[in-house]
Chains A and B, each alone.
Chain A
Amino acid sequence: MGKAYKVPNTLTIMKAIEYVGYRFIRSCGCRGGFCGACTTFYRVKNDYKLQVDLACQKRVEDGMYIVQLPFIPAEKPKWDLDKMKSTTDEVIRVFPEITRCLSCNVCTQACPQDIEVMRTIQALRRGDLEDAVNLTFDCISCGACSIRCPAEITHYQVFQLARRLFGKYETIPAKHLMERVKEIEEGKFDDEVSKLMDMNLEEIKELYKKREIEK
C-alpha cells in the first residue's frame, strides 16, 4: 500500500499484512479461499500489469505493491424467483448491461478462480443458461471481474440469478427425496423411532453394531 515492509517469503499476503501489525476487520473472512472477502490487487516490480488474487491464497512476492478491496460498491437487485421464468432473457431483463460487453476479456484475466467470465456473459447472450451455470459454479463473488469491467457488469450477481433460476426450474427434483418427505409426514417411521427412544443405550449399541455397511 505504498509503505515497504520486510516479511518472510513463505507467507500469504493475508498473513504478511498481519505479520507487520495490521488487524483485519474487513478484507478477511474464511481465510481459506471460499468467501471472496480478501480480493487484493497488486503489481510486482518491473511489471506494468495490474494483477489480482485472494490475499488468503496468494504467496507474497518480492517488491509486491498491494491494495485490498474492502467492499464492492454495488446494490443487489431484488428478485422474486416465483414470478420469474428460467430463461436467459429474464437474466438480461434484470441486468441489461450484459448486452454492452465489449469482449475485452479483462474479467476472465482478473478471476482468481479461473472462471471463464467473458465466455459466461456470451453464453447468456446466446441463450445458454446451463452453460452459464456450469461455467460459474465455483464463483466466490470476490468482485475482481466487476471492478475491472468497462461495461460495468456486476458478474457475480448476474451469475447468482442464473444459477438460482436454473437450480429452481431446470434441474429435475429428486423423486426419492419427495417420497421420503411424504413418508415422514405420514408417520411411516414414527413407531420405529419411538421404540428407539424407549431403548436403553446398550440396546441401541447392539443395533448400531449390527447395522450393515453399504458397499
Chain B
Amino acid sequence: MKKMEIIEGYLGYMRESIEAVEKTREKRLKETFPLMSLEEREEILKKFHPDYKEEAKRPVKVGPNKGDLMPHEVADLLEAYPLVKPKEVDLSKVDFDVDVFIIGGGGAGMTAALWANYTGVDAENILIVQKLRLGDSNSIMSQGGIQTADKPNDSPVLHYLDVMGGGHFTNDQKLARRLVLDAPMLMKWHEDLGVIYDKESDGTMVTIHGGGTCRKRMHSARDYTGLEIVRNLKDEVLNKNIPILEFTSAVELLTDEHKQVAGAVLYNMETQEYYVAKAKSTVLTTGGFGRLHIQGFQTTNHYGATADGIVMAYRVGAKLRDLDSVQYHPTGAAYPEQIVGLLVTEKVRGLGAQPVNKNGEQFVYPREPRDVEASAIIRECYERNNGIETPTGMRGVWLDSPMIEILQGEGTIAEKLPAMLRQYKRFDIDMTQDPILVFPTLHFQNGGVVIKENAETHVKGLFAAGEITGGTHGKNRLMGNSILDYSVFGRIAGISAAKYAKKAKIGKLTLDHVTRYEKMLKEAGVETDRKAPILLPEYREEKVLSRALDIF
C-alpha cells in the first residue's frame, strides 16, 4: 500500500471531503433535514436495515420457540450441545447454598442484589456470579443517558408513547407501562445513592432530546452516565457485603423435581473447576449478545456480551421473543481503525451534530429512531455511494461535531462529551475542529427472554432483568431506555426473587432438562460439535489456533 500522509489524524483525501463539509456548515446550521413519515420509515427499513435481510436468519429447530426466525449466530447457539455433560457434575456436593442467586454483575444484577437485600434477604444469603470483574459490563459503557419523564412539560404518558412508537408498536404494553411509571422513583433512588447527574445550579436536571423522544428527557452524567451509575451501585454492593464470585461463569441452570429453577452450575474461568450453586430463586442478568457479531458487524458491547443467559434460559424452557431484531447503533466509529465499532454516543447528535455525506450534504434528520437513522446511513454509503471509504475498506459518513461548539458554545464538547473527546484525541483527531467518521455498529439486543410484569419468566423460580429480556422495547429500543430498563426491572426482579425465596422449597437438584434438550437436538437432526454457552468471543488468529496442541 502506498504510504498516505496523515494530517491531524486524517488522510489527505479525507481532508478534501472535510473541506466540503466545512463549506456547507454555515447553511446547515440554519436548516435541518425533515423527519420521515411513518410510511417512509417503513420503506427505508425494509430496503436497508440489516434485520430485513432474509438470508441472515433461519427458523430455530428446537425448543419453546421452534420455528421462529433468528439470526444464524443466535440459532447456532440454541442448536448447540451443552458445555458440561450432566454425568460429569456431582450434584450431591453443593458448594454454595443461597436464597437469591444472581447471574451477571452488570447494572441489572447489582440493582437486583441491592433490592433483594432491601426486601429483607441478608447479604450472606445472596450471591452474584460474574464472568469478568463486578461491573465490567455494557452498563459501565453507556454514555448518553437515561430517560425519565420528570419535567413539568413531560409525563409518563408521553414517555409511553415514545417507547411504543420507537418499538414500532410491538412492545409488551404492560412492561412499557411499568418502565415509564417507575422511572422517576429509580432516578430518585440514584440521587439518594449519590449518583451525580448533570444539573443546573438550582438542582434542575439538565435534559436533552434522544432519538425518537418528543420531550427533552435524556438525563446524563457528562458522557460517563453508565460509569457514574455503575460505580455507585458497585460501591453499595460492596458496602453491603454482598458476596461476589468474579471470573466465574454460570454455564447451566439447575432444576429440581418440581420443575423449578434451583441455581446453576458454575465454571471458574481460571482454574477450570466447576461449582454447584443451589438457590431458592435465580435471577438472570447476563446482558446482551453484541459479541456474537451478528452479520459480521463490529460492536459497541463489552467483552462478555455473548448471550449465555439466553442459552441457559432456553434449555430450561423459558420463552424468547423478538430476537430477530437487532439494534445497530447508527453511529459507531468507522475510523481510525483502532476504535472501529466503538460507540459515538447519540448525545453528539442530541447536542446538534448532523450526519452529512462526503459532499457535505445532509441526507437524514439527525434524530430518527435508531433503526431508521442507521438505515439512512447504510443507504447513503452503499446505494447512493456518498460515503467516505477508509484504508481498511470500511465506508462511513461524517458526523459534524464542530457544529456543537458553534451551537452550544466553545468548550461544550470538553464539558459534556469528555469521553468522546478523549477517545479521538488518543488517535490525534480533534472532534471540536473536525468532523468524525461513523457507520452503524451492533449495539443492543432488542429481544430476549419473555418476562411478566414481576420480572418472572415462564419457568418457576427463574427471574430475569435488563438487556437479556425482551418485550419492554418491542423491536427497537430508544436510547436512554435501557439504563432505565435495568434499573426498573432489576429492582423488581430483586424484590420478586426475594419474595419467592421466602416460600420456595427446593427438592433434589437435577440436570435432566439438559439431557432432554440434548435428546431434542438429536431428534431434530442437529449434528454439530458446536457447544454453548460460549462465555467469551474468540479473537485469536486462525493461524495460531490451527497449530494449538491440547497438552495441559
Contact = CB atoms under 8 A, between A and B. Distances in A.
A and B are interacting partners = yes
Main secondary structure of the interface of A (DSSP, over half): loop
A164 interface: yes
A87 B345 CA distance: 35
Nearest to A201: B169
B38 interface: yes
A165 B194 CA distance: 7
Given A59-B427, A204-B169, A137 B222 contact: yes
A201 to B, nearest CB: 5
B87 interface: no
A140 B149 CA distance: 29
B412 to A, nearest CB: 16
A163 B194 contact: yes
B226 to A, nearest CB: 7
A76 interface: yes
Given A197-B173, A214-B214, A33 B423 contact: yes
B499 interface: no
A137 B224 contact: yes
Nearest to B333: A32
Contacts of B427: 59
A184 B156 contact: yes
B187 A177 contact: yes
B157 interface: yes
Contact of B150 (A26, A35, A174, A189): A174
A27 to B, nearest CB: 10
Contact of A32 (B185, B194, B337, B343): B343
A173 B195 CA distance: 11
Interface stretch (A17-25, A42-50, A145-153): A17-25
Contacts of A12: 338
Interface stretch (B43-51, B233-241, B253-261, B403-411): B233-241
Contact of B140 (A25, A26, A35, A201): A35
A194 B150 CA distance: 20
A25 B131 CA distance: 9
B418 A181 contact: no
Contacts of B184: 177, 180-181, 184
Nearest to B138: A30
Interface in A109-161: 113-114, 133, 137-138, 140-141, 160
Contacts of A19: 540-541
B140 A207 contact: no
Contacts of B173: 196-197
B423 A189 contact: no
Contact of B149 (A30, A59, A175, A180): A180
A30 B290 CA distance: 12
A175 B226 contact: no
Contacts of A33: 342, 419, 422-423
Contact of A211 (B140, B161, B201, B300): B161
A205 interface: yes
B197 to A, nearest CB: 8
Contacts of A166: 194, 196
Contacts of B394: none
A96 interface: no
Contacts of A178: 188
Interface stretch (B203-211, B503-511, B514-522): B203-211
A164 B235 contact: yes
B536 A23 contact: yes
A62 interface: no
B202 interface: yes
A160 B204 contact: no
A34 interface: yes
Contacts of A192: 155, 157
Given A18-B540, A177-B187, A193 B196 contact: no
B150 A177 contact: yes
A8 to B, nearest CB: 9
Given A22-B540, A138-B224, A29 B419 contact: no
A14 to B, nearest CB: 9
Contact of B539 (A15, A35, A58, A164): A15
Nearest to A8: B337
A209 interface: yes
B541 A196 contact: no
A80 interface: yes
B363 interface: no
Interface in A48-77: 57-59, 76
A29 B338 contact: no
B247 interface: yes
B215 A174 contact: no
B541 A21 contact: yes
B151 interface: yes
A32 B300 contact: yes
Contact of A208 (B164, B197, B235, B422): B164
- Identify the interface centre among A78, A80, A133, A189: most chain B CB within 10 Å of its CB: A189
A209 B133 contact: no
8 contacts: A19-B541, A25-B269, A33-B419, A79-B239, A166-B194, A171-B203, A184-B156, A189-B156
Interface of B: 38, 132-133, 135-137, 140-141, 148-153, 155-158, 160-162, 164-165, 169, 173-174, 177, 181, 184-185, 187-188, 191-197, 199, 201-205, 209, 214-216, 221-222, 224, 226-228, 231-232, 235, 238-239, 241, 247, 269-270, 300, 302-303, 337-339, 342-343, 418-419, 422-423, 426-427, 536, 538-541, 544-545, 548
Which are the 10 A-B pairs with shortest beta-carbon distances?
Answer: A172-B203, A29-B136, A167-B194, A21-B544, A164-B194, A168-B194, A167-B196, A18-B539, A208-B165, A180-B184
Interface of A: 10-12, 15, 18-26, 28-35, 37, 57-59, 76, 78-81, 113-114, 133, 137-138, 140-141, 160, 163-168, 171-178, 180-181, 184, 189, 192-193, 196-197, 201, 204-205, 207-209, 211-214
